[in-house]
Amino acid sequence: MLGSKNRNPNQEIEEYRDLMQVPDRFENGFTIKAILGVLFVAFIMVPGNMYLSLMIGGSLGAAAEWVTIILFAEITKR
pLDDT band at residue 2, thresholds of 50, 70 and 90?
low
What pLDDT, on a 0 to 100 scale, did the predictor assign at position 6?
Answer: 65
Instruction: Report the half-sphere exposure of 28 (CA within 13 A, side-chain side).
Output: 6
Q: Is residue 41 part of a domain?
A: yes
Give the pLDDT confidence of 5-42 residue by residue, as tens digits. Answer: 666 778 888 888 888 888 899 888 888 888 888 898 88
User: What distances in angstroms separate CA 11 from CA 16, 20, 70, one per listed residue?
Assistant: 9, 16, 38
Q: Is residue 12 part of a domain?
A: no
**What total of structural domains would you count in the chain?**
1
pTM of the model: 0.54
Q: Is residue 23 part of a domain?
A: no
Q: Is residue 42 part of a domain?
A: yes
Q: Is residue 17 part of a domain?
A: no
Domain enclosing residue 52, as ranges: 28-77
Q: Is residue 52 part of a domain?
A: yes
> Would you say residue 71 has pLDDT above 70?
yes
pLDDT band at residue 43, thresholds of 50, 70 and 90?
very high
